[in-house]
Structure 1
Amino acid sequence: MKKIIVVDDDIHILELLYIHLSEQGYIVFKARDGISALEILHKENCHIAIVDVMMPFMDGYELTKVIRQQFNIPVILLTAKSQIDDKEKGFQAGTDDYVVKPFEPKELSYRIKALLRRYDNVTEESIIRMGSTTINRKSYEVQIDDRIFLLPLKEFELLYFLMANPKQVFSRDHLIEQIWGIDYEGDERTVDVHIKRLRERFTQLTDDFQIKTIRGIGYSLEEKRS
């Protein structure tokens, strides 16, 4: 049974969502601020978070950033704000979806189901192996033989994406869109810097794979064939 945490300082919204989602078979936890929400998340294995933006102590943007760093679950931001700048800030914080108040509970339910399906599919395909190298998207670990490495988030996501699509050539723009998102305001050099760091980390550790520069286009990861 899926567990959902709803975080909102409006008690009426909390009760509305608690009743609606409980009737659909979810186990629902309620929190009125980000601090309380994190306490629950550390105790309960929640599958998705519904987070209000305007809250005391820790707003929804900051809570979303912490959830993205510490828990592998989707986040839906729930807010009265509808300006494009607010939405951009939400997606930059790491939210998966954005619902503006007032909203139809049924619409929120559809979005919850869609995100849960997407994350379930990711979990099923979360481990990739190349020779003695294993990359686990669920634990965010890279293991080479008996050594385990924890990478910065974007380095991990970039390596995972390339390993999941070996021999395919990707432009820098495509990699930015996949890893940093379409709203990212940086430039192509970000990709070059992260590729350089990955090469520095792994070139001397393994020859299971190699990240090649495709001149004039971008990058491709190739698996060593024994």
Structure 2
Amino acid sequence: MFNILIVDDEEKITQVIKAYLDKEGYNCKVANTGIDAINYFRENEFDLIILDRMLPDISGEEICEIIRKESMVHIIMLTAKTEDEDVIDGFNIGCDDYVCKPFNVKELVLRAKAVFRKLDVENKDILKFSDELEINTLSHQVKVRGEKVYLTNTEYKILLTLAKNPKKIFDRERLLELTVEEYYEKMDRIIDAHIKNLRQKIELDTKKPKIIQTLYGVGYKFGL
């Protein structure tokens, strides 16, 4: 289920938008002030933000700039301003789409669906294991418990190899063969050093690892 944040100071507008999107099966949260919008954004994970440009406390532009410093979530801006320069300014600060007021709610729903179709395609390139681990196989970005971690190329290959084969046990030599270029058979213990460094970046407790588990005398396996 996709999560949507609807931000507009006019409660009637937010309730109408919410009703239509709820009917489509989306999970919607409403904010009627800029402060609430920022707080909800930081406390939750949204797939789409529908953001009014004119808010009484913080402008939509300012909110968009704040969000863009922390996230690339898709933003559809609602605006009564229709001048080309206003629209261009909106795109420059980071919004992804514009809907001009007054608008047809059905059109807004169709635009939301288009966003989610794109996300569905992108998600095929993402391996996700509950809230513990997320691997984007296109960008090679890795998130652990929601936070980005930076891995070396070898660490990334080891993690990806294990994650793609969660039921398989790999001995050191096989992991070296799959993940380290120009490896040497007599140096199979080098994989232990890579895994030690990897665990320091992804495990809560390196003495009791959950993500990469050791089977003593055999090798390693994925634990999630």
Q: Note whether the superposition's TM-score is higher than 0.5.
A: yes
Q: Could you say which residue in structure 2 is the equivalent of 1:62?
A: 62
Give the CA deviation at 1:125. 2.8
Q: Could you say which residue in structure 1 is the equivalent of 2:93?
A: 93
Q: Could you say which residue in structure 2 is the equivalent of 1:107?
A: 107
3-state SS of the aligned residue for 1:70?
coil
Separation in 1, partners of 2:53, 2:142: 28
Q: Could you say which residue in structure 2 is the equivalent of 1:143?
A: 151
Q: Could you say which residue in structure 1 is the equivalent of 2:4?
A: 4
Give the CA deviation at 1:147. 8.7
Give the CA deviation at 1:7. 0.3
Give the CA deviation at 1:73. 1.5
Query: Is residue 2:130 matched to residue 1:122?
Result: no
Distance 1:87 1:137, change over 3 A: farther
Q: Could you say which residue in structure 2 is the equivalent of 1:29?
A: 29
Separation in 2, partners of 1:10, 1:87: 21
Distance 1:15 1:128, change over 3 A: closer
Structure 1 unaligned regions, length at least 5: 149-226
Q: How is 1:1-226 mapped onto 2 (pairs within 5 angstroms)?
A: 1-125=1-125, 127-128=136-137, 135-136=140-141, 142-144=150-152
TM, length-normalised to structure 2: 0.57
Distance 1:140 1:94, change over 3 A: farther
Aligned residue identity for 1:135 = H
Separation in 2, partners of 1:81, 1:56: 16
Give the CA deviation at 1:124. 3.3
Separation in 2, partners of 1:47, 1:28: 10
Structure 2 unaligned regions, length at least 5: 127-135, 157-224
Is the Cα–Cα contact under 8 Å of residues 123 and 137 in structure 1 kept in the other structure? no
Give the CA deviation at 1:26. 1.4
Aligned residue identity for 2:61 = Y
Distance 1:121 1:33, change over 3 A: same
Larger radius of gyration: 2
Give the CA deviation at 1:43. 2.1
3-state SS of the aligned residue for 2:140?
strand
Distance 1:123 1:10, change over 3 A: same
Deviations 1:161-193 (Å, cap 9, x if unpaired)?
A: xxxxxxxxxxxxxxxxxxxxxxxxxxxxxxxxx
3-state SS of the aligned residue for 1:61?
helix
Separation in 1, partners of 2:77, 2:31: 14
Is the Cα–Cα contact under 8 Å of residues 51 and 76 in structure 1 kept in the other structure? yes
Give the CA deviation at 1:72. 3.4
Give the CA deviation at 1:82. 0.7
The alignment covers a number of residue pairs equal to: 144
Deviations 1:46-76 (Å, cap 9, x if unpaired)?
A: 2110000011222111111222221231000
- Identity score, percent: 32
Is the Cα–Cα contact under 8 Å of residues 2 and 27 in structure 1 kept in the other structure? yes
Give the CA deviation at 1:119. 2.9
Separation in 1, partners of 2:148, 2:123: 12
